[in-house]
Amino acid sequence: MSTFILILSISAAILLALLFFNRARKTKHKRFVSLAEQHDTTNEHTFFLFDLNLPFTPDVHDVIYVENEYDPAINGYIQKHYEEIQQQFLSKKATFIYLPKLCGQEVPKEALHYMFPFLGQESSFVNGNLSIETLKSHIFSGSIEGPALIHFVQMEAENPENYYYTYRPLVADASVPLSDQFEKYLKHLTFSYRGESGSSFNALSKPKNEEDVADHYFNDGSDNLLFVNKSIDDLTVEIRQRIIELRKRGVQLHLLRELVEERPTLSRLVVDKDYKIFLPDYNNLEITMSPLPKAVYLLFLRHPEGIPFKRLRDYHDELLDLYKQVSNRVIESNIENSIRDITDPTKNSINEKCSRIREAFLTHFDFAYAQHYFVTGRRGEPKRITLPRELVDLQAL
C-alpha cells in the first residue's frame, strides 16, 4: 500500500512539473492578441516587432501615436490638447510623438544643427517622409489594428535583428475618456536603461570600498540618462530643458537619418594657443568651459590611453600645471583644494567636472556625435576621450 501511495505521489509531482513547464514555455513566447481582447486588459501591453531598417533610432523615452486608418475622434482630441499632452509626457520624462505634427513642417535650424552638427549653416529641412505608413512597412511581427500608443522597450532578445515595442490601444468610444486613457498609460510607463556594457547605471548602489567612489559613480551618459532623476551627476536644469525643447520640436526621432544628403562626420578638435577649443568641421563651433573643467578636459586629451580613476592622485601635479596655463592666474588655496579633490578617487569631484565637460558638448549637438568628444568609460576601466587621435590638434600642448 505504501509503495502504491509513493508511486501516486511521484506521478502527481511529475504531472504538476509538466504542467508548470508547459505554462512557463507558453508565457515565454510573446502573444499578439486582437484589439478586442485588449479592451478587457487595460493594464496590460501587447508587443510587436520592427525590423532594423527604421528611418530613425528608437529611444526608450519616445511614445508614438499610430493607427491603421484615420480616427477623427482621437486625432481631433490630440490636436486640440497637443501641448497639454506634450507636457504630461514631459513630466514623466517622456516625449509624445504625433507624426502629423511633424510631417510637412520645417525643422528649425537650431534643432537641425543640434541633431546634425556637420550640416552647413544654410541647411534647412522639411519633415515630409515619415508617416504611419512608413512605420507599417517596417513591422516584422504583429500588426497595428487600431489607434494605439507604441513604445520602444529593447532589442528583441531572441532575435537581435528586431526592435521590440509595446502596443497599447486607444478607444474613442470607450466608457473611459481619452484623457483618462492617456493618464493611465503614463502612470504605468517605465523605461529601461542599458549601456554598451550590458548593465544599467545605478546611482543607488554602493561602491565596494572608499577608493572606488569616483569610479563607481561615474556616468558618461551612455545609458541615455538625460531624463533620469540623478543627483550630483546631472546636467544643469537649463541644459536639460533646452535639449528637451529640441526633442519636442520633432527632432527626437533622429528621423532625418535617411533624408539628410550630407555624409555624417566627426569634426576635428583644435585646442589653439590660447587654449580655446574649436570644432572646425562643425561650422568652427567653439566649445566653452570654465577653467577647472577645461583643465580636466585637456588632461584627458593629453592621455588618449585613458586615466584609471583609482590612479587619479598620480595626475595631481599635471592637472595643477594645466590649470595654471588655462587660467593664467596665480593658484589660490581654494583652487589647490579643488584640484586635490578632483584627483582624490574617494571623492566625487572628478565626476562633477566630467559632467560639466559632457554638458559643454551636449549643449551644442546630439549625444550621437557628442559622445566621441567627452570623457567616457565603463566601470573599473580607464576613462578616456574616444575621438580618433588624427582628429585632435593640440596646438597649446
pLDDT confidence of residue 39: 41
Rounded to an integer, the average pLDDT of 268-292 is: 96
Q: Is the pLDDT reported for residue 300 higher than 50? A: yes
CB 143 within 8 A of CB 48: yes
Q: Tell me the pLDDT band of 238, cut-offs 50, 70 and 90.
A: low
Is the confidence at residue 32, as pLDDT, over 70? no
For residue 245, the model assigns a pLDDT of: 64
CA gap 121, 6 in Å, rounded: 83
In this predicted model, what pLDDT tens digit does every residue of 360-391 receive, in sequence order?
A: 998 898 888 899 999 999 888 999 999 999 99
pLDDT band at 231 (very low <50, low <70, confident <90, very high): very low
Average the pLDDT over 232-242 and give the result: 59
Nearest of 393, 154, 366, 135 to residue 268 by alpha carbon: 393
What is the C-alpha to C-alpha distance for residues 372 and 156, in angstroms, rounded to an integer? 27
Burial of 247 (0-12, 13-18, 19+ CB in 10 A): buried
What mean pLDDT comes out for the span 189-211? 58
Q: What pLDDT, in 10s, does the model give residues 140-158?
A: 888 888 899 999 887 655 5
* CB contact set of 206 (below 8 Å; sequence gap of 6+): 216
Query: Is the pLDDT assigned to residue 248 strictly greater than 80?
Result: no
How confident is the model over 75-87, as pLDDT tens digits?
999 999 998 998 8
**pLDDT at residue 125, rounded to an integer:** 64
Contacts of 335 (CB under 8 A, 6+ apart): 292, 323
- Residue 299's pLDDT is 97
Q: Which pLDDT does position 11 carry in this prediction?
A: 57
The mean of the pLDDT values for the chain is: 78
Percent of the chain with pLDDT over 70: 69
pLDDT value at residue 23: 44
Rounded CA-CA distance 140/94 in Å is: 25
Residues 147-170 have a mean pLDDT of: 81
Q: What is the pLDDT of residue 226?
A: 42
pLDDT of residue 250: 45
Q: Is the pLDDT of residue 196 over 50?
A: no
Residue pLDDT, tens place only, 175-190: 899 999 999 999 988 8
41-55, 183-197, 300-314, 360-374: which has the highest mean pLDDT? 300-314
Mean pLDDT in residue range 17-21: 47
Q: What is the mean pLDDT of residues 108-127?
A: 75
> What is the number of residues in the chain?
397
pLDDT at residue 225 greater than cutoff 60: no
Residue 240 has pLDDT above 90, yes or no: no
- Does the pLDDT of residue 239 top 50, yes or no? yes
**Which residues of the chain form beta strands (DSSP E)?**
46-51, 62-66, 95-97, 105-107, 125-127, 139-141, 148-155, 162-169, 269-271, 277-279, 285-287, 375-376, 384-385, 392-394
Residue pair 371/378 in contact (Cβ under 8 Å)? The answer is no
**Residue 260 pLDDT grade (very low, low, confident, very high; cuts 50, 70, 90):** low
Which range is most confident: 55-64, 225-234, 294-303?
A: 294-303
Task: Output the pLDDT for position 42.
Answer: 44
What is the tens place of the pLDDT at every residue in 60-107? 888 999 998 999 999 999 999 998 998 898 888 788 888 887 766 666
SS3 302: helix
Average pLDDT in the 265-271 region? 95
| Nearest-10 Cα torsion for 361, 362, 366, 368 | 70
- Between CA 106 and CA 64 the distance in angstroms is 20
Distance CA 210, CA 378 (A): 18
